Amino acid sequence: TGVQAAKVKANFVPSKEDYQKVYNRIAEIMDEADDYDDGSYGPVLLRLAWHSSGTYDKDTKTGGSNYATMRFEPESLHGANAGLNVAREIMEKVKKEFPWISYGDLWTLGGVAAIQEMGGPNIPWRPGRIDGTAAEATPDGRLPDASQGSDHLRNIFYRMGYVRIYTSRFDFLPTLPSVTTSHPIKGEVVMLSLPLGTYSRAAARKDLDLRACSILSLWTPSLTLRRIHRFNDQEIVALSGAHALGRCHSNRSGYEGPWTFSPTTFTNDFFKLLFDEKWVWKKWNGPKQLEDKSTGSLMMLPTDYVLVQDKSFKKFAKAYADDMELYFKDFSAALARLFELGVPTQQFVSSEPWKMRTVDEQKA
């Protein structure tokens, strides 16, 4: 009966195979893009997944892919999201066929399918995002602005990541160096020590907030540490290499053109081209962008060019230009992390991310 059917539906717990079906459908639709751009919706779907995840703010724990708030105004109308209605409309078709999937899961799975089907590495992924409301939509300005420099890039990506609070009793903490902090009530000095390696690595990344050390209780003295796991320079560079895919549209961002000669195949060409071509400012009425001197058919955004100008970024960009395997490995890890920003761990249906299979792998 209808009542039974509704009940079955309500109790429906999708399995990994059900998510694989959604992946397969996305992969299919991605290719139904005859007259669109370079014949694939893959790049714009990846951009949707990125813009839904990249709004995360670790300090307020807002944004990120969890609530898929780009469905709502004004977030859907933010300048950075111009053109993503194309991707959202494609995903709406898939959602109609698989109404049990949350938008956040659907959109990030779309990003995974885009990378994997366009020849990129496997992106570990797992479901668990839930649909939110318009009240959870994020303010404008959280996504990077392509006209800016390295400080801006770092500020944007450093805002993402997550904060983990460690509480520890004194007794387990071994070794050097130690940091002294004073007891907030009794005024006595206590020592906080960390394994040397952990401390120096964390300090180098500026992601260990020792100011937050405090004593939790007078009777069971323990310390809290705020460890900030934010994106670092290596991850910023790795993620930026997604511009191997797709193109800029003057009616969306104002910029124009593709970054590589193969915008529907994921490669490390973005980095190779950054080093191998001579990049000159394009002479036109549009926003400041670069073009390759030899053909004038490729482009770089100011933020892309920063990756070979900034010393720390450049080191990673060079490593990725020279080593595709290294690039795939690092990109996969960074993207998987990006897609999970702000999703409470307990929401995930599995403790380990899954490997979704490509269409080709399923044929084999």
The catalytic residue positions are 51, 259
Name the residue nearer to ligand ZEM (CB basis): 126 or 243: 243
Nearer to ligand ZEM, 83 or 221 (CB): 83
The minimum distance between CB 121 and ligand ZEM, in angstroms, equals 12
Looking at the Cβ atoms of 37 and 131, the one nearer to ligand ZEM is 37
How, if at all, do strands 208-209 and 189-193 pair? unpaired
Altogether, the residues listed in the chain come to a count of: 364
Closest distance between ligand ZEM and the C-beta of residue 78, in Å?
12
Residue 297, helix vs strand vs coil: coil
Residue 276, both tokens: 């191998």
- Rounded CA-CA distance 96/87 in Å is 15
Q: Which residues, 6+ apart, have CB-to-CB distance to 282 below 8 Å? A: 288, 289, 290, 291, 296, 299
The owner of tokens 């405090």 is 214
Contacts (Cβ under 8 Å, ≥6 apart) of 142: 54, 55, 57, 63, 156, 159
Return the number of the residue (127 or 246) whose C-beta is nearest ligand ZEM.
Answer: 246
Query: Footprint of ligand ZEM on this chain (CB under 6 A)?
Result: 43-44, 46-47, 50, 83, 144, 146, 153, 239-240, 242-243, 245-249, 252-253, 255, 301, 303, 335
Residue (of 199, 217, 218) closest to 209 by Cα position? 199
The tokens of 249 are what? 């549209």
User: At a CB cut-off of 8 Å and minimum separation 6, what does 360 contact?
Assistant: none
Pick between residue 97 and residue 151 the one whose CB is nearest to ligand ZEM.
151
Residue 313 makes CB contacts below 8 A (sequence gap 6+) with 150, 233, 236, 237, 306, 307
The identity of residue 347, as a single letter, is Q
- Min CB(80)–ligand ZEM separation in Å: 7
Shortest Å distance, C-beta 115 to ligand ZEM:
8
